[in-house]
Amino acid sequence: MSTEEQGTVPVAVIGSGNIGTDLMIKVLRHSPTLRMAAMAGIDPDSDGLARAARLKVATTHEGVEGLAKLPEFEDVRIVFDATSAKAHTRNAEVAREHGKLMIDLTPAALGPFVVPPVNLDDHLDADDVNMVTCGGQATVPVVAAVARVAPVAYGEIVASISSRSAGPGTRANIDEFTETTSEAIRTVGGAEAGKAIIVLNPADPPLVMRDTVYCLVEGAVDAGLQEEIADSVRRMAEDVRAYVPGYRLKQDVQFDPVENALVPGLGRRVTGVRVSVFLEVLGAGHYLPDYAGNLDIMTAAAVRTAETTAALRGWGKQS
């Protein structure tokens, strides 16, 4: 899709780094719904602002305050925040004051967690939604897929990403990553207890994002129920792949019996079945390298959230 064929719902991006620039490219080249109206940053020499200017997108290097002064901002419906948790507080205030929907890609989590194929419909009226983490976007759908078939006593995820795709923000927020993702495993995925681990892989050439999801299902799980769980996971993977084409199951869903296991976070022992799911996320390569699937799934989920919300709120060709 060329810039001349953009959609009709104007959006703005705050943050001119890798995430913000990838968002801009996705909107400009690949969204049938959204129209890129403005980009705000704080570094006048950033590649993101330079690219935006070349692509005829309004820019400012004065952050959210400068964005609010741009004439293009008046028509903006949706603002993506690709800055930092600290900056998000003020960014969200400005968006709210001007009646804009805020989609937050920072660890701030002031608004509800949203994972598009799982719970977007529950938060269509929210004015500030949070995209959890890259690990959350990749793995929470799997936990939810298992939980909609059988109760999940415990969910654990291990997200392995290339160290090259982990910028200063990711490295400075490892604790927030684990805490936020663990909470989303419970509150969005439906597990009774959850744990998240992130691994920065220094391999060269860089490896693509890989995730392992373990779900402990309590009680008897016969062959029929196992097939229901596996089918639910496969269907959820298809739902995610609709907006993240590089998302895939690496192998069949695995089932292993567990007897009298002490479950972290529950304080009791459980007998049942451990469901193991192995994932790979290859990035689309719009601006970020294709091995950076961890970053790509965040921007793709944010765009999906914006497009779906815009459609359901009636922001479309008539805007």
Q: Is 169 assigned a ligand-binding role in the annotation?
A: yes
- Domain positions in the chain are 3-108, 134-292
Q: Is 224 assigned a ligand-binding role in the annotation?
A: no
| Side chain identity, residue 269 | R
Q: Is 17 assigned a ligand-binding role in the annotation?
A: yes
pLDDT in the model for residue 251: 97
Q: Let me know the angle formed at the C-alpha of 195 by 192 and 200, rounded to the nearest 5 degrees.
A: 160
For residue 4, pLDDT beyond 70: no
- Shortest CA distance to 177 belongs to which of 137, 215, 145, 210? 137
Whole-number mean pLDDT of the chain?
Answer: 94
Q: Is the pTM of this model over 0.85?
A: yes
Active-site residue, selected from the candidate residues 39, 103, 134, 288 = 134
In CATH terms, are 3-108 and 134-292 the same topology?
no
Tens-digit pLDDT profile for residues 73-109: 999 999 999 998 889 999 999 999 999 999 999 988 9
* Position with higher pLDDT, 168 vs 49: 49
Tell me the fold of 134-292.
Answer: Dihydrodipicolinate Reductase; domain 2 (3.30.360)
- CATH architecture, domain defined by 3-108: 3-Layer(aba) Sandwich (3.40)
Tens-digit pLDDT profile for residues 136-160: 999 999 999 999 999 999 999 999 9
User: Is 134 marked active-site?
Assistant: yes
Pair 73, 38: CB distance under 8 Å: yes
pLDDT in the model for residue 171: 80
